[in-house]
Structure formats: C-alpha cells, structure tokens
C-alpha cells in the first residue's frame, strides 16, 4: 500500500477528487479557492515587481484573547477555526500588524474573493468616471445597445451599480435546475458550459413589473454586466483595466487573476482572486479617500459617495439583506454598515470579507472556505468579531 502524498496529508483528500462539479463544496474548497485557474479559465492581472514580503505572525499575540461574538465568547483562534477562515490580515493606521493563515494556506497565496470582486470592479467604474470615460447616470443602452430587449433596456448604469435593477432572477446557489445554475454554466463554473456565453445569458434576462431603483435586490448578473459596460466605455478588456487603473497604482505585490467565459468575458461579479495583503491594500486605499502610496487612484468624491453619503436607505430597507445591517445602505457595490464607527465593507459568499473601520483606522481582510455559500447567523457573528478586533488592535 502506498503512503499518502504531501497533498493528501495537507488537505485530507486527493487532488483528482476536486472537479468542476464539487469545487465549491467542503472540504474541496480549501484547495480550489486558492487555485481557481486549475478548474476554470482565468486571465492574469500582473503586479509591478516588488520586494519580497514577510508575514507579521500570530496576530500580535491576540490569538489567545477572548472575543465576543453574538451571545458567545471564545478565543480569536477558536473563532477563526469555527468560521472556516483560511487567512486573516489586519492593518492599523496603514501598517500591517498581523497575518494569520490556516495550515492549508501559505502566506502570499491567492484566494478567490467571490463577490468582493464586485467592489473592486466598481472602483474601476469610479476611476473611469473621473477620467470622463464613464457616466453612472447614463442608460445602459448607451454602452450596450443590444441590451434594449432585456431587463436592462430601460435601466441606468446607476441602477446596475446600486443593485436596484428590477431583475427577474434569484440567487439560488444550491438549485441545479434554476436560472442561477444556467448562469454558472455560462461562466464555465458548472459542468455543461460552453454553449452559451455570459454576455448572451445576460441579455436574455427580463425585468419585474416594479420600477427600477425602488428596491435593493442582490443579483450577481448586474455586476457581470458592469464589467461589460466598463469594457465598452474604455475599449479595453477588463483584466487590462484592472492592471492599469487599479493594480499598478495600488502598489499590489501579488499577481491577481479573474475567471473568464468562452468569449473571454471577465466574471466581474465573483471571479477575482488576490492575496490577503493586496485585498487589505484595497481597503486601505478606500480608507485613505482613494489615495495609495501618495498617488490618487480613484476620485475622493467617488469614495465619499460610496462609503458615506450615497445610497438609498429606502431601497435597502425594502431589500432582503436589511437584517445584517439594519441601518445600512448599498452604494457602488459596497456595503455601508450604518454602525456608529462608520464601517463599510465588501462581502463574498463562503466567508470572504473586506472590512474597513475608519474610526479605528483598521482594515481587515478575511478569506474563508465556509461550507455553505450563505450563513446569515455566522455573518452577524463575523461583523461582531470585526468590531471587537478593531477595538483590540
């Protein structure tokens, strides 16, 4: 009998057990979330040459400290394990003060951030708006005329940015017979793809009777459409936009990647993979009002609108995510928490978070491999954990 390979010893399963049909399931996601490009096509987003970084280990001795989450109290290490955390990186006042990694993830490894991809994509929208190339108030058909027969035919780019398109579509993550499953086949994320492109799928979607702009509806196709809008407005492919407009000015150290479909269309709703530190750098850039390394990356007015002043409270209150942030709002693919500390964040399924506490000058990037795509009670605990950790550091 042959012994276990190094891969089996580390992950508890064989590499050939991870396939397109199960890559988002636990325990296989502990590997696949760091290796998206081995399962679906991806485009590279190269970073500038940089010096080698070293981690700040053990979170400054905080792993044994008790943290209050909801009605329980446990050590930070216990909570990280219970919430299926793969990596946690913390910045304070612009400096990295802690890096924690699960045994199955290495420092400097990329990890898919799922719907935080939306937040990064919207940053590029803000950059292009500042350059006069993109108008958030324009009709979608200004950039994509062929959308006229779809749900987006009478929608504005603003509706797309704020998830207030009256779209007849449900985020049915676990239903193999749903329109969502067809959507994932179009992105090449599920078996059976390759007959319908992402663009073709988006243009078949229809609207509800309710007017656009009235209700916050979390619908991922809106954010893939945003990627198409940015490509049409700029004349560049999305990976090149991200490289030129965001990754280089940000000072990102690690190469990023993004999933693409059969036509090379980027999965801007959820296909970006980055390192924890580079994700934290995005949050720090937002905390600095759009500045990074002394350089303006995105207009300050856009950042303020995204994180403080913009968004409709009424639309949020009508939406299904209101219980997570009872006083929240949603603007430009970012969540305003409505908490006293003025925190805002990007969130992705399976436990991906980018949390910014401007009052405490803290940025937290959390990457995870939670078994379920959505875990509402755990999300409430994670927010409480972030609040506690921000106070502790």
Query: Which residues are the active-site residues?
Result: 115
Instruction: Round to whole Å and give the CA distance between 241 and 248.
Output: 10
Cβ-in-10-Å burial (0-12, 13-18, 19+) of 285 comes to buried
Going by C-alpha positions, the residue among 351, 381, 392 that lies closest to residue 102 is 351
- Measured in degrees and rounded to the nearest 5, phi and psi for residue 375 equal -140, 90
Match 């992402």 to its residue by tokens.
Answer: 198
Instruction: Round to whole Å and give the CA distance between 124 and 346.
Output: 15
What is the 3 state secondary structure string of 250-281?
HCCCCCEEEEECCCCCECCCCCEEECHHHHHH
Instruction: Round to whole Å and give the CA distance between 155 and 291.
Output: 32
Question: For strand 362-368 and strand 352-357, is the pairing parallel, antiparallel, or unpaired?
Answer: antiparallel
Diameter over CA atoms, the chain: 66
In angstroms, the Cα distances linking 81 to 8, 84, 148 are 20, 5, 48
How many C-beta atoms lie closer than 10 Å to residue 208's C-beta?
15
């Amino acid at each position: 009998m042959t012994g276990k390979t190094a891969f089996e010893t580390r992950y508890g399963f064989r590499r050939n057990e991870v396939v397109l049909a199960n890559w988002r399931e636990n325990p296989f996601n502990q590997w696949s979330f760091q290796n998206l490009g081995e399962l679906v096509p991806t485009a590279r987003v190269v970073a500038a040459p940089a010096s080698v970084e070293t981690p700040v280990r053990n979170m400054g001795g905080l792993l044994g400290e008790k943290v209050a989450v909801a009605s329980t109290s446990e050590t930070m290490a216990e909570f990280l394990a219970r919430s299926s955390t793969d990596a946690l990186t913390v910045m304070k006042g612009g400096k990295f003060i802690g890096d924690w990694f699960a045994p199955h993830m290495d420092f400097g490894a990329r990890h898919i951030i799922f719907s935080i991809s939306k937040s990064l994509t919207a940053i590029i929208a803000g950059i292009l708006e500042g350059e006069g190339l993109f108008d958030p108030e324009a009709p979608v058909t200004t950039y994509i005329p062929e959308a006229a027969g779809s749900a987006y035919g009478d929608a504005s780019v603003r509706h797309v940015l704020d998830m207030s398109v009256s779209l007849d579509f449900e985020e049915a993550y676990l239903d193999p017979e749903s329109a969502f499953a067809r959507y994932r086949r179009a992105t090449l994320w599920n078996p059976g793809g390759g007959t319908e492109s992402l663009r073709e799928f988006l243009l078949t979607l229809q609207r509800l009777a309710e007017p656009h702009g009235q209700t916050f509806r979390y619908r991922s196709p809106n954010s893939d459409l945003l990627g198409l809008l940015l490509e049409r407005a700029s004349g560049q492919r999305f990976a090149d936009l991200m490289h030129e407009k965001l990754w280089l000015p940000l000072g990102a150290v690690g190469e990023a990647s993004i999933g693409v479909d059969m036509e090379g269309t980027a999965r801007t709703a959820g296909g970006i993979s980055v390192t924890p530190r580079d994700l934290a750098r995005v949050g720090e850039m937002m905390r600095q009002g759009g500045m990074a390394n002394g350089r303006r990356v995105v207009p300050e007015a856009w950042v303020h609108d995204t994180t403080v002043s913009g968004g409709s409270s009424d639309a949020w209150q009508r939406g299904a995510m209101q219980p997570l942030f009872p006083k929240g709002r949603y603007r430009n693919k970012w969540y305003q928490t409505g908490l006293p500390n003025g925190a805002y964040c990007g969130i992705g399924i399976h436990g991906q978070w980018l949390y910014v506490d401007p009052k405490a000058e803290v940025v937290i990037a959390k990457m995870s491999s939670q078994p379920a795509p959505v875990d509402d009670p755990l999300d409430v605990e994670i927010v409480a954990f972030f609040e506690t950790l921000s106070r502790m550091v």
